[in-house]
């Protein structure tokens, strides 16, 4: 997987790429990250990459010319791979989108700054417009790192274990991941549940599934609308919800 990142501040990326799993993936040539400074394609003496918006309004708008020139110079015209514009107006990034993007051999990421992009970049250059959430940052560099991390860890061999991502939150039929513990079994009086220590794999798998259902219900109930739920899952959730209702009623009495 190769990432080509177009940014006004390409130096932001290297410190994060120089540590941990992504560093090892880059060293093993499983991932390549090439950063490109958009200013290098600005043609005026001040290397201008922004200008005032038509119609007035606050802030500056990133110019179309240097971004088109940078992307097409590196990737060809039309670009030879998906071009991702990181923008608050885009589709919200999620695990399913990460899996879809991980199927490509190469991705281009355009990081914004200032108030906005010239909309011709979105309309005529980008193939994907992606937001990492319902908030606004000062630039697209952090979203680009988040996307590269989420997509990169799905590249075969990056995590070492091909099954390592199967139980991730949002990956196991759309549910949040179940709770996990490690040694020691007791810490400050808090103990690991007995079922996770008894060695009974069938009981542990059942417990993990139920805990994933509970955690999703309590923290992200919206995910249950599209989750893959068996009849047993639905029966368990109904019993759990009924139990919680009865407990709340008894506390009020």
* CA–CA distance, 107 with 92 (Å, rounded to integer): 18
Q: Where does residue 4 rank: exposed (0-12), middle (13-18), buried (19+ CB within 10 A)? A: buried
149-183 residues labelled b (16+ CB within 10 A) or e (exposed): ebbbbbeeebbeeeeebeeebbbbbbbbbbeeeee
**Spatial CB neighbours of 217, under 8 Å, sequence gap ≥ 6:** 224, 237, 240, 241
What the block records as the tokens of 226 is 């599209």
Q: Which residues sit opposite 33 in a β-bridge?
A: 3
Report which secondary-structure segment, H or E, holds 186.
strand 186-187
Residues annotated as catalytic (active site), given as ranges: 88, 115, 153, 168
Number of C-beta neighbours around residue 57 at 10 A: 11
């Amino acid at each position: 997987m190769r990432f080509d990142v177009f940014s006004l501040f390409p130096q932001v990326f290297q410190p994060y790429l120089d540590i941990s799993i992504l560093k090892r993936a880059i060293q093993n040539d499983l991932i390549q990250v090439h950063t490109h400074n958009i200013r290098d394609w600005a043609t005026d003496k001040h290397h201008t990459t922004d200008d005032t918006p038509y119609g007035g309004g606050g802030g500056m708008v990133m110019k179309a010319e240097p971004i088109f020139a940078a992307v097409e110079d590196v990737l060809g015209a039309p670009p030879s791979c998906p071009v991702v514009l990181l923008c608050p107006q885009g589709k919200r990034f999620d695990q399913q989108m990460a899996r879809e993007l991980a199927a490509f051999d190469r991705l281009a990421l355009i990081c914004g700054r200032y108030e906005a992009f010239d909309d011709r970049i979105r309309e005529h250059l980008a193939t994907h417009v992606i937001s990492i959430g319902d908030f606004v940052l000062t630039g697209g560099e952090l979203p680009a790192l988040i996307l590269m991390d989420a997509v990169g860890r799905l590249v075969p061999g990056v995590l070492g274990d091909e099954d390592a991502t199967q139980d991730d939150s949002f990956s196991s039929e759309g549910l949040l991941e179940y709770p996990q513990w490690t040694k020691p079994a007791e810490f400050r009086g808090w103990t690991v549940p007995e079922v996770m220590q008894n060695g009974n794999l069938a009981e542990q798998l059942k417990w993990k599934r139920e805990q994933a259902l509970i955690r999703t219900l309590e923290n992200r109930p919206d995910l249950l609308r599209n989750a893959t739920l068996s009849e047993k899952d639905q029966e368990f959730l109904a019993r759990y919800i009924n139990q919680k209702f009865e407990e709340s009623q008894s506390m009020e009495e």
